[in-house]
Amino acid sequence: MTEMLSIWTEKYRPNKFEEVFGQDEIVKRVKNLTNSLNIPHMLFAGSAGTGKSTLAIIVAKELFKEYWKENYLELNASDARGIDVIRQEVKNFARTKSLGSVPFKIIFLDEADALTKEAQQALRRTMENYTNTCRFILSCNYSSKIIDPIQSRCVVFRFKLLEFKDIEKVIKRIAENEKLNIEEKGVKALYEGSEGDCRRAINLIQASASISPNITEGIVNILLSNAKPKDIKIVLDYALAGDFEKSREKLLEVMLKESVSGTDIIKAIQKEIWNLSIDAELKVKLTEKTGEVEFRLVEGSDEFIQLESLLASFVLAGLGKKL
């Protein structure tokens, strides 16, 4: 079976609690709950690639052993199909008794924060209706986007971004297995490119390996520059030179060409600010503004409008005016 898996994020996905890196405290608690054979509803909060789905699958495997696939349902809330479909699937799944000795089944609802407040209310009721036959594990990026009534019904676990030492362990393990030679700086570059996201780190290793078994900092950086929104500097330069319309035209082009999200543009802008040839004080102000816009981007409805407002601040900075 494992030989079939040509995607390394799958091939090296941990199968046991002991293999999960970087979340020691959470793993310990979840393991104890699992061993007691009676888990509560759980909310896994944290960034992508920190081990939320992985841990949910491990819980299922430990609880149900060979029957885990029959007793485990994975749903994604960001599917456009809506809460009604989710409820229907939950209903179908929860109607039959679980196989084996554990008296309940597990439903893993990924990206639960994609649900609207109303949908979450509906979900809350569904959770209550099937609490005898099902346990829910919800995953989300931001727990603040989950309504209180759901949070209060769940044990909440906050997943940390993986640190260098954790990612390093993963990298070393894969390098050994795949007979790769990764230079020290390459490991650093992989970690920095991963931004604490283990899945991204593994994807980067595999993509690098597809180029050469000798993985250098240079190869990793080429890959990263492929994935990064390009030409952000051009966008900012136009703005600083006072040409707002050119700047926003370029921004839209960058976003649409590779369908980059607003959040990723913000991240790129924030990194770029320090490379600009402007006053340090202005850089601080612009960074503050960038943070404010990132916040509004999450709360607002139209990413582009928010980014335009940031560009207008850059225009102002370019005039040497106070922000």
Options 4, 66, 176, 280; binder of another protein; rule CB under 8 A: 4
DSSP 3-state assignment of 89? helix
Is 37 or 305 the residue whose CB approaches another protein more closely?
A: 305
Secondary structure (DSSP) of 13-68: ---SGGG--S-HHHHHHHHHHHHTT----EEEE--TTSSHHHHHHHHHHHHHGGGT
Does the protein bind another protein through residue 252 (CB under 8 A)?
yes
Residue 200 sits in the site that holds another protein (CB under 8 A): yes
Select from 88, 214, 261, 284 the one that contacts another protein (CB under 8 A).
261
Question: Least distance from C-beta 308 to another protein, angstroms?
Answer: 6
- The SS3 of residue 226 is helix
What angle (nearest 5°) sits at the alpha carbon of residue 241, between those of residues 238 and 243? 60
DSSP helix/strand/coil, 211: coil
User: To 10 degrees, what angle do helices 164-178 and 198-209 make?
Assistant: 30
Nearer to another protein, 35 or 177 (CB): 177
3-state SS of 126-156 is HHHHCCCCEEEEEEECCHHHCCHHHHHHCEE
Residue 1 binds to another protein (criterion: CB under 8 A): no
100/315 with CB nearer another protein:
315
Residues 268-307 that bind another protein (CB under 8 A): 293, 296, 299-302, 304-306
Q: Measure Cα distances from 67 to 41, 106, 297 in Å.
A: 20, 12, 43
Contact between 110 and another protein per CB under 8 A = yes
Among 111, 192, 195, 272, binds another protein (CB under 8 A): 111
Site string for another protein, 160-189 (x = CB under 8 A): ------------------------------
Footprint (CB under 8 A) of another protein, residues 39-98 = 48-49, 53-54, 57, 74, 76, 78, 83
Q: Are 321 and 314 in contact (CB under 8 A)?
A: no
| Shorter beta-carbon distance to another protein: residue 38 or 144 | 144
Would you count residue 222 as binding another protein (CB under 8 A)?
Answer: yes
Candidates 197, 194, 187, 175; CA nearest to 217 is 187
Range list of H helices, the chain: 8-11, 24-35, 52-64, 82-95, 117-129, 148-153, 164-178, 184-194, 198-209, 217-227, 232-240, 244-257, 262-272, 280-299, 303-318
Place of tokens 């989300």: 140
Of residues 148, 176, 256, 277, which one binds another protein by CB under 8 A? Answer: 256
CA 284 to CA 190: how far, in whole Å? Answer: 28
Q: How far is the CB of 103 from another protein (least distance, A)?
A: 26
Looking at 35, 116, 181, 214, which residue binds another protein (CB under 8 A)? 116
> Which of 37, 85, 211, 284 is the binder for another protein (CB under 8 A)?
211
Choice from 148, 179, 245, 277 touching another protein (CB under 8 A) = 245
Q: Which of 216, 264, 272, 283 binds another protein (CB under 8 A)?
A: 264
Question: Of 143, 106, 112, which is closest to residue 30 (Cα–Cα)?
Answer: 106
- What's the CA gap between 264 and 258, in Å, rounded? 11
Say whether residue 135 binds another protein (CB under 8 A): no
Q: Which residues of this protein are in contact with another protein, per CB under 8 A?
A: 4, 6-10, 48-49, 53-54, 57, 74, 76, 78, 83, 110-111, 116-119, 121-122, 199-200, 203-204, 206-207, 210-211, 222-223, 226-227, 242, 244-245, 248, 252, 256-261, 264, 293, 296, 299-302, 304-306, 308-309, 311-313, 315-316, 319, 321, 323
